[in-house]
Structure 1
């Protein structure tokens, strides 16, 4: 929570157009990279959150039901936006993979083999 608050403050001070919680998660990643021993301390909390992850979808579901009429009125635009963004995301992923695969070492290259085993 402290890192989320720090992320919110950082976003407000700098004016960076990203959500504060996302900045807080980036700060958490930096802290865990900088202090690997903290991973063990956060593990019980992470397991507790993951065990009850389905509860986090309840507010989103309530919001959808509450605005069902508005969503129905904009269904065509929402459908087009979802379809287009899915196809664009898949195309960008494919192009990125196609650009990066030639740079990847082959499975039989000496760089990946250890102790004479492929």
Structure 2
């Protein structure tokens, strides 16, 4: 489990280093996950080694949201003042993401010539 956890953290640190080195507009942990995905393709047994540790991390993922909850509680007045703007932004960004995802799926279907089963 220590090796798996070190490997996950290593990919996160590598992603963060690359982002900072090249000034990329992507979060370091996201780039680290992409690099880990490529590593999974290159070495098949890597997935089986990380799976138990990843399962434990996912099972306890709710603990990772505690700092966000504390931040919301500490800045309650700000949410009261700017809550409408935050809510509108959340709804609008969700709708935009859903629309873009739908169009990308349609584009991929057209490019790959996949027919709908309807």
TM-score (norm 2): 0.79
Tell me how far 1:101 sits from its aligned partner.
Answer: 4.2
The 10-residue stretch of structure 1 (98-107 or 49-58) with the greater mean CA deviation from structure 2? 98-107
Q: Residues 92 and 36 of structure 1: is their aligned pair in 2 closer, same or farther, counting only changes over 3 Å?
A: same
Q: C-alpha distance in 1, partners of 2:87/2:116?
A: 41
2:56 to 20, 38, 48: 48
Q: Quick check: which has more Rg, 1 or 2?
A: 1
User: RMSD between aligned alpha carbons?
Assistant: 1.8
1:21 to 26, 29, 52: 29
Q: RCO higher in 1 or 2 (8 Å CA, sep ≥ 6)?
A: 2
Name stretches of at least 5 consecutive residues in structure 1 with no aligned partner: 108-118
Superposed, 1:1-118 pairs within 5 Å as 1-102=9-110, 103-105=113-115
Name stretches of at least 5 consecutive residues in structure 2 with no aligned partner: 1-8
Name the count of aligned residue pairs: 107
TM-score (norm 1): 0.79
